[in-house]
Chains A and B, each alone.
Chain A
């Protein structure tokens, strides 16, 4: 796991990334994960509450990007529709809390379940589509979602264009933290559980099947992998992750409205995925940092040209790191170890 928190820059700490060096020093990886978690636990006590709130959002975006990554990075399917799953998750939480008085922590599994079902059902027909065609189908989902949320026939449930206000979760009575810190730790806990689950899933037999489909769908089918089922399942799990992120996002923003879940959110997630590194779990955190902070950085240069500066930053990052931060870190480590080997020779 990389260490995104200790450096405001987008570049990762190469030592911290998941590395082949883990073979020589088996504890290096665990150590760096422990260090990042320790840092994450301490951070809310050394930053002001607004920064805590921003870091909560970074984690939420990272989780949403991980959802997309499970689909794109490990299964090779391309989606522009994840803003829809994020929105469904957010609305599930908002509606359950607002209309049914469900406590916030129970809304997360509900949001995940709803998104899993929607994702799975969407994944089945989408199986017939490849590449660009699938992109268009998911794009359709992203365009349709805000319109469906605004639709007058559903206004009784969704609140229509006016959206729904969500109460911020209060910390439990005996825990001496502020509401922002509580949400931060809650999000951190969810994030760690789901990152660990994703890592296990990738390493499992199922995960290998999913990856096999990415690298060679035809060959995967030939060795007996039920590509249709696995693809639909991956779609469901991917939607589940992004949906839980959406649920947390609703708690953090304390508000949901159709305009929060437009195609531009999908594009942001895609950008975060690519910048972090397709197929890399720690890269998702880098992606989350990029999604939240780079527009702010672009804006601080010039108000009118914020879009131009954002685009230029994006291009520069792609030029320097064509395979994202994770790819860059891999490359840097390879260079470093070659350099070490050479310098050891007399």
Chain B
């Protein structure tokens, strides 16, 4: 029983990593109606920028704010320079462009900052949280920030004109244009926001997994998984999905005999797919009706 509790807690702590990334995934999905395969690498790159600023002697919060701001600008710039010219290209061509961006960011980060792991500071410290040895204050802080970001996104998409316009632009660009929404800029701002949220996620994840160019490979996979499991159009669902995956994975590794140890990743992914069979739009996602 104690093991179960510990694995669930450890799973929630790891799940916070996925949940954080899943929010960034939902953000970009709301903006471009698609996933961005380079999102993890963008977050990694933002985190390296913050790390570099700290190395140059800037205070943590200065580095944090500058990195988030630069990421926003960078996200907008990537959309304007790279994806605007091919926004009429087939979806698969755009996916290949994401792959190209992935390769460029990953390789240049390795070249600039090399591959040895680096520690990244946390404002929350690494002390015990409420006496628990399994979750530390940083992980608790990360869960807190994820929930705050979630509230922010919820309010943004439901309550602000910009958020509504952005959703409209992504869901139905033609109609949105007719009612006077500048679809192109909505997409660009969506990219910027996704990059900024990714930067926050990266800076929260790095203290746990250590900073290095390949740190987001697995995180992004589970971030996608979490977002898809919870529902790509539901920020709350995505966060719940991220936490769920962390817990499922730990329980599979601990309690599934014979297969569990080596195949826990596979088992977690199969669970996601199985859930999608039953709820094809995710647990909290809204079903879309296809028009002929």
Query: Taking beta carbons and an 8 Å cutoff, which residues of A are in contact with B?
Result: 72, 78, 125, 128-130, 132-133, 135-137, 139-140, 143-144, 147-148, 150-153, 216-219, 222, 267, 270-271, 273-275, 278, 304-308, 310-312, 314-315, 318-319, 322-324
Contact = CB atoms under 8 A, between A and B. Distances in A.
A21 B65 CA distance: 60
B270 interface: yes
Contact of B111 (A129, A271, A304): A304
B276 interface: yes
Contact of A314 (B96, B221, B224, B292): B96
A314 B277 contact: no
Contact of A322 (B88, B265, B281): B88
Given A140-B269, A305-B108, A308-B108, A129 B262 contact: no
Nearest to A146: B266
Interface stretch (B46-54, B99-107, B185-193): B99-107
Given A128-B280, A143-B221, A305-B111, A72 B269 contact: no
Interface in B99-145: 99-104, 106-108, 110-111
Contacts of B90: 274, 278, 322-323
Nearest to B263: A147
Contacts of A267: 99
A209 B110 CA distance: 48
Contacts of A78: 92
B276 A137 contact: yes
Interface string B71-114: 00000000000100110111011011101111110111011000
Interface of B: 34-35, 82, 85-86, 88-90, 92-93, 95-97, 99-104, 106-108, 110-111, 221, 224-225, 228, 232, 258-259, 262-263, 265-266, 269-270, 272-273, 276-277, 280-281, 290, 292
Residue from A143, A150, A216, A311 whose CB has the most chain B CB atoms within 10 Å: A311
A11 B251 CA distance: 51
Given A133-B228, A148-B266, A322 B93 contact: yes
A222 B290 CA distance: 13
Contacts of A323: 89-90, 93
A313 to B, nearest CB: 8
Secondary structure type dominating chain B contacts: helix
Given A136-B276, A144-B269, A308-B111, A274 B101 contact: no
A343 to B, nearest CB: 30
Contacts of A72: 92
Contact of A270 (B95, B107, B258, B281): B95
Contacts of A274: 90, 92-93, 95-96
Nearest to B262: A151
Given A153-B258, A218-B292, A310-B103, A147 B265 contact: yes
Contacts of A148: 263, 266
A213 to B, nearest CB: 13
A212 to B, nearest CB: 13
B86 A322 contact: yes
A318 B292 contact: no
A307 B263 contact: no
A128 B82 contact: no
B86 A318 contact: yes
Contacts of B225: 136
Contacts of B110: 304, 307
A222 B292 CA distance: 10
Nearest to A151: B262
A218 B290 contact: yes
25 contacts: A136-B276, A140-B272, A143-B269, A144-B270, A151-B259, A216-B292, A218-B290, A270-B92, A270-B95, A270-B96, A271-B99, A273-B92, A274-B90, A274-B96, A307-B110, A311-B102, A312-B104, A314-B96, A314-B99, A314-B100, A318-B89, A318-B93, A318-B96, A322-B86, A324-B93
A235 B23 CA distance: 32
A287 B271 CA distance: 34
Given A143-B221, A275-B96, A133 B104 contact: no
Contacts of A125: 273, 277
B89 A144 contact: no
Lowest 7 A-B CB distances belong to which pairs? A307-B107, A322-B89, A311-B104, A311-B103, A314-B100, A140-B269, A311-B100
Nearest to B281: A133
A322 B86 CA distance: 7
Contact of B107 (A128, A144, A218, A308): A308
Contact of B270 (A129, A140, A151): A140
Given A219-B292, A278-B90, A322-B86, A132 B96 contact: no
Nearest to A267: B99
A168 to B, nearest CB: 32
A239 to B, nearest CB: 17
A40 to B, nearest CB: 27
Nearest to A315: B100
Nearest to A310: B103
B273 A140 contact: yes
Contacts of B89: 318, 322-323
A308 B109 CA distance: 10
Nearest to A314: B100
A308 B93 contact: no
A181 B77 CA distance: 50
Given A133-B276, A147-B265, A323-B90, A318 B111 contact: no
A151 B265 CA distance: 12
A132 B91 CA distance: 11
Contacts of B262: 147, 150-152
